[in-house]
A and B are shown apart, each in its own frame.
Chain A
Amino acid sequence: MKYLLLIYSAAGADVADQCVFDDWVAYDRALKDAGVWVSGHALSDLTTATTVQVGADGARSVTDGPFAETREVLGGYDIIDVPDLDAALEWAARCPGSRGGGAVVVRPVAEF
Chain B
Amino acid sequence: MGERRTTASVGASVEALFREEHGRLLASLARRFGDLDLAEEVASEAVEAALRHWPVDGVPTRPGAWLLTTARRRAVDRLRRDRTYATRLALLQVEADRAGRSGADDDPELPDERLELFFTCAHPALPADARAALTLRYLAGLSTTEVARAFLVPVATMAQRLVRTKRKIIQARIPLRVPGAGELPHRLPGVLQVIYSIFTEGYAASSGPQVQRRDLAEEAIRLARILRRLLPAEREIAGLLGLMLLVHARRDARTGPDGGIRMLDEQDRSRWDRAMITEGRDLVLVALTGGPPGPYGVQAAIAALHDEAPDLDGTDWPQIVALYDVLVTLTPSPVVALNRAVAVAMRDGPHAGLVLLDALAGDPRLHGHHPFPAARAELLSRLGRHADAAAAYREALDLVGTEPERTYLRQRLRAVESRSCVD
Contacts and interface: CB of A to CB of B under 8 A. Distances in A.
Nearest to A111: B171
A85 interface: yes
18 contacts: A1-B173, A83-B173, A83-B175, A84-B173, A84-B174, A84-B175, A84-B177, A85-B125, A85-B173, A85-B174, A86-B174, A86-B175, A86-B177, A86-B179, A108-B171, A108-B172, A108-B173, A110-B171
Contacts of A110: 171
Contacts of B179: 86
Nearest to B175: A84
A85 B172 contact: yes
Please tell me the size bucket of the interface on A.
under 10
Given A84-B175, A86-B174, A86-B177, 18 more contacts: A1-B173, A83-B173, A83-B175, A84-B173, A84-B174, A84-B177, A85-B172, A85-B173, A85-B174, A85-B175, A86-B175, A86-B179, A89-B125, A106-B172, A108-B171, A108-B172, A108-B173, A110-B171
Contacts of B172: 85, 106, 108
Interface of B: 125, 171-175, 177, 179
Interface string A74-112: 000000000111100100000000000000001010100
Majority SS at the chain B contact face: loop
**Closest 5 A/B residue pairs (Cβ):** A84-B175, A84-B173, A108-B172, A85-B174, A85-B172
Contacts of B125: 85, 89
Majority SS at the chain A contact face: mixed
A9 to B, nearest CB: 22
Contacts of B177: 84, 86
A108 B175 CA distance: 13
Contacts of A108: 171-173
Contacts of A85: 125, 172-175
A83 B179 CA distance: 15
B265 to A, nearest CB: 47
Nearest to B125: A85
A89 B175 CA distance: 12
A110 B177 CA distance: 23
A106 B173 CA distance: 12
A1 B173 CA distance: 8
Interface string A2-33: 00000000000000000000000000000000
B175 to A, nearest CB: 4
Contacts of A89: 125
A86 B175 CA distance: 7
A110 B167 CA distance: 13
A85 B173 CA distance: 6
Nearest to A107: B172
A89 B172 CA distance: 11
Nearest to B34: A84
Nearest to A90: B183
A28 B172 CA distance: 23
A83 B34 CA distance: 12
Nearest to B176: A84
Nearest to A84: B175
Nearest to B171: A108
A90 B381 CA distance: 53
A18 B125 CA distance: 26
A47 to B, nearest CB: 33
Q: Please indicate which of the listed interface residues A83, A85, A108 has the most CB atoms of chain B within 10 Å of its own CB.
A: A85
Contacts of B171: 108, 110
Nearest to A108: B172
A40 B242 CA distance: 50
Contacts of A1: 173
Q: Please indicate which of the listed interface residues B125, B171, B173, B175 has the most CB atoms of chain A within 10 Å of its own CB.
A: B173
A43 B179 CA distance: 34
Contacts of A86: 174-175, 177, 179
A110 B125 CA distance: 17
Contacts of B173: 1, 83-85, 108
A85 B174 CA distance: 5
B278 to A, nearest CB: 40
B84 to A, nearest CB: 11
A83 B174 CA distance: 10
A84 B179 CA distance: 13
B31 to A, nearest CB: 13
Contacts of A106: 172
